């Protein structure tokens, strides 16, 4: 999933591209919270930056802004219902400055 996003259109300058539809293809609404967390544990570049009962924020960084001219990030905010199922998602692809 992350490779598909990084292979898509690249953000320019401060542009933020909404890639929620790409993430939803791999993690559809109704997916268990544990499956969402597990999908990022295998990635060496993804980090959970916020873990609250109804919300999970994951950031994936590709490259370091000062060292890599193509340094980019994906920030994904997952919302979960009381049953622990994915109920909403906002995913942004952005260029690191």
* pLDDT given at position 29: 96
Q: Is the pTM of this model over 0.85?
A: yes
Nearest CA to 39 out of 19, 24, 54, 17 is that of: 24
Q: Tell me the C-alpha distance between 31 and 11, whole Å.
A: 28
Residue 88 sits at φ, ψ, to 5 deg, of -165, 160
| Token digits of residue 78 | 């997952």
Q: Are 28 and 50 in contact (CB under 8 A)?
A: no
37-93 per-position pLDDT tens digit: 999 988 888 999 999 999 999 999 886 655 666 788 999 999 999 999 999 999 999
5-36 per-position pLDDT tens digit: 888 888 888 889 999 999 999 999 999 999 99
């Amino acid at each position: 999933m992350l490779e598909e996003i990084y292979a898509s259109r690249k953000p320019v300058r401060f542009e933020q591209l909404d890639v929620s539809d790409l993430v939803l293809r791999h993690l559809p609404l109704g997916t268990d919270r544990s499956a969402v967390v597990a999908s990022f544990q295998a990635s060496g570049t993804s980090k959970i930056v916020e873990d609250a009962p109804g919300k999970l924020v994951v950031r994936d960084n590709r490259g370091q802004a000062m060292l890599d001219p193509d340094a980019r990030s994906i920030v994904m905010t997952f919302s979960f219902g009381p049953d622990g199922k994915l109920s909403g998602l906002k995913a942004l692809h952005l260029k690191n400055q």
